[in-house]
Amino acid sequence: MIFLPDTNACSHFMRGHPGITVRWLAEAPRIRLPVIVVAEPEYGADKSGSRRQVERLAELARTLPGEPFTREDAAAFGRLRGDLERRGEIIGGFDLLIAAQGLRLGATVVTHNLREFCRVTGLKVEDWQSA
């Protein structure tokens, strides 16, 4: 089993949230860091002028294997976005990219944002923050 944390899961882990930290450490060998999660704080840093989150995430990225976004992920993204649009249940762009990658890999997305990710048919999702 592969776990793909989204940005909020990474942020809560880096802040030492007790619920997520215990599970994160137990599952560490099976966690892969999506490159999308590394890109999202870059946008936030550009907007805010603060590089703190980017630097903290870069430190975390050095400890986890990365998961690059592939051509197959792009194809899964296209199918998924089309499906969600037809159903009138579109989700945020970064979440859509992570979900597409999770579907392609058969991975479980780790997030506290269940409202968005649970709209994706067939995607395995876990909320370690509430556990």
- Mean of pLDDT values over 51-68: 84
Number of domains in the chain: 1
Task: Give percent above pLDDT 70 in the chain.
Answer: 98
- At 28 the pLDDT is 93
Mean pLDDT of 80-108: 96
In this prediction the pTM is 0.91
Instruction: Please name the helix (run of DSSP H) or strand (run of DSSP E) that holds residue 124, with its range, or none.
Output: strand 124-126
**Residue-number span of the structural domain to which 34 is assigned:** 3-126
- 7 belongs to a structural domain: yes
Band of the pLDDT at 122, cuts 50, 70, 90?
very high
**Is residue 122 one of the residues assigned to a domain?**
yes
**Residue 84: CATH number of its domain:** 3.40.50.1010
> Is 85 inside any structural domain?
yes
97-114: average pLDDT = 96
Q: Residue 58 is encoded by which pair of tokens?
A: 């870069």
**Is the pLDDT confidence value at 80 over 80?**
yes
Asked if residue 43 belongs to a domain, the reply is yes
Nearest to 89 by CA among 60, 121, 125, 61: 121
Is 131 a member of any domain?
no
